[in-house]
Structure 1
Amino acid sequence: MKTAGKTVCVFVLLTITKVTKTVGESNRNQSAIGMEEREMCTGHKRVSVTVGNSSVLICSPKPNMTMATWKINPKAGGPCSLGYRADQNKTDRTNCSESINWKFRPDQDPTLEIQQVGRAHEGSYTCEVVVAEGNFHTSYYLTVLVPPRLTLYCDDQGNPVCKAAAGKPAAQISWVLENNSTPKEEGHDDGTATVVSKFTAYSTNGTTCIVSHLAGNWSKSIACHPTKSTIIIRYVYIILCFLSIITFMAVFYYFKLHRDRLCHKTKPPETAPTHSPQDDTMEVEPYTTYVQKENVIYNSVSDLTVGQNLLQGLSPAT
């Protein structure tokens, strides 16, 4: 019964974990889909680049182009712009850092290049080309990916712990051998997130942690052995469980053996039938009445006899 209870509890926990994980992934997917839908509605093309790399945003040139302008609205910092005027053959820059510049000559190709992309470069980029036929726009939304720092170590209990720190977006952690652990995610103010997963299944040959991220995939292997304190704790736990089972069985059999005695003690004592003094009175009363009547008759006869004797004795004297 105890084993069945544990099995049911483990099954319920696994079910809750699976549902939670599925709901979390579904929410993240819905958020990503919602963002993409918003970008599609606004005409933005999604572009991802890993921090530290360069990014090139294409702005197709048009014949007889009179003006080209890049309008940039990053998530951090103020907006900036790059402009080119064909009639003056002149370029201008407003509030843009040196890392943002034209890829080629703007009169030939107004493509934009961002060197050494940082998290501050994330945001929207719009190119506007002006010709005689009208204005043409090309819009992008630049997402900066931050690869997590992978760390794999053994905790105090001898369990492998895999940590993907400060990744953007949050990394996904898995193990070569299946286990029941649920990764814990912690968000940071800079938009990155740290994910930690502990390998709960026991393996003497070691295990491998796999980190999946949009910026790449990484893996590490480690072999952890339980410490002396962990072994002692396990033995103590086993002994305590064994003693608990023995105690439970002893109490159970004690109450089972003494159940009849306890029931006998708690049974109310049998009471003798009550005998009312009135019943004795009812039984003695007829006899008493009879004796009294006999005495009265006897006394009357005796008195009559004495009276006759006295009369007879007095008669001769007269």
Structure 2
Amino acid sequence: MIQIYLTIFNILIFLPLRCIYFCKWLSNLLHTKTNLSYFFAVNRNEAFNLGSDARLICSNKIWTKAVFVIWDIELKHKTCKISFNHEGQSSNSCNDGKSLQNSTDQSFLHIPNFSVNDVGVYKCESTYTGGNENYNITVGVTAPPVVSAWLERRGNKMVAVCRAERGIPAANISWSVTGNQSVTQQNNPDGVVTVESQLEVPEDIDRENLTCIVRHQLWERERTLAAVDAYAYNRA
């Protein structure tokens, strides 16, 4: 009988305490639900052509169902935020032309005249009826190079030069013949890259058929230039 009384006593004393701890834990969990969503952000990469008008989409949900959208933007030289909610309230601390816009069914971040200054990490939170989504988008820039090829007489040697200027990322240059060649790469402060390859033309090579081959990430096909006419330009 004493054992039964002790059991009832323990239940009456400790059960409320356990309930208090559990309820407190549950309350904290619900209170931090919004913050926890950041730990489940989806990472992805995007790249836009230099000078283009970029459209960055946070979620594929219909924008009319959105409760709010927040963009936290981390660039090389600054950070800023753009947001709006379903009540029509909005804020924009970027002050560089970026803006939130709506198409017929989606909300997107519009970045006009995309430049190297727009490269960075764009963090987006979209809350809509039924849930929310978080994305960390690493945004880069691409630019096709301007290519050229020519021959130069240097003493008793003939040197073929092939250049791919102001590309992002750097272009790759090769030649239709093997020989003594050197490659230099110039990284400009504005982020563009110029690559130049110089080939010492062997005496037994038919110069009429000497070409350089330029490959770049933006091109579906390689570009081939004949190195016979001085400064023969072939723009991308």
Fold conserved (TM > 0.5)? yes
Deviations 1:277-317 (CA, angstroms, capped at 9, x unpaired):
xxxxxxxxxxxxxxxxxxxxxxxxxxxxxxxxxxxxxxxxx
Unaligned runs of 5+ in 1: 1-40, 226-318
Whose RCO is larger (CA < 8 A, sep 6+)? 2
TM, length-normalised to structure 2: 0.66
1:115 Cα deviation after fit: 2.6
Alignment of 1:146-161 (within 5 A): 146-157=143-154, 158-161=158-161
Larger radius of gyration: 1
Q: Structure 1 residue 139 and structure 2 residue 125: aligned?
A: no
Q: In structure 2, what is the equivalent of residue 172 of structure 1?
A: 172
Change (3 A) 1:224 1:195: same
1:84 Cα deviation after fit: 1.0
How many pairs are equivalent? Answer: 181
Deviations 1:82-102 (CA, angstroms, capped at 9, x unpaired):
21111x22222212422x223
Larger % of helix: which? 1
Distance in 2, matches of 1:175 and 1:42, equals 45
Indicate the SS of the match to 1:89.
Answer: coil
Distance in 1, matches of 2:42 and 2:66, equals 22
- 2:99 is aligned with what amino acid? N
TM, length-normalised to structure 1: 0.50
1:215 Cα deviation after fit: 2.5
Change (3 A) 1:165 1:121: same
Identity rate, percent: 23
Q: Structure 1 residue 73 and structure 2 residue 69: aligned?
A: no
Q: In structure 2, what is the equivalent of residue 193 of structure 1?
A: 193
- 1:144 is aligned with what amino acid? V
Change (3 A) 1:42 1:52: same
1:155 Cα deviation after fit: 2.0
Unaligned runs of 5+ in 2: 1-39, 231-236
Distance in 2, matches of 1:109 and 1:224, equals 51
Counterpart contact for 1:159–1:224, Cα < 8 Å: no
Larger % of strand: which? 2
Q: Structure 1 residue 119 and structure 2 residue 124: aligned?
A: no
1:109 Cα deviation after fit: 2.4
Alignment of 1:31-70 (within 5 A): 43-60=42-59, 61=61, 64-70=65-71
Moved over 6 A (4+): none
1:195 Cα deviation after fit: 1.5
Indicate the SS of the match to 2:107.
Answer: coil
Distance in 1, matches of 2:129 and 2:207, equals 74
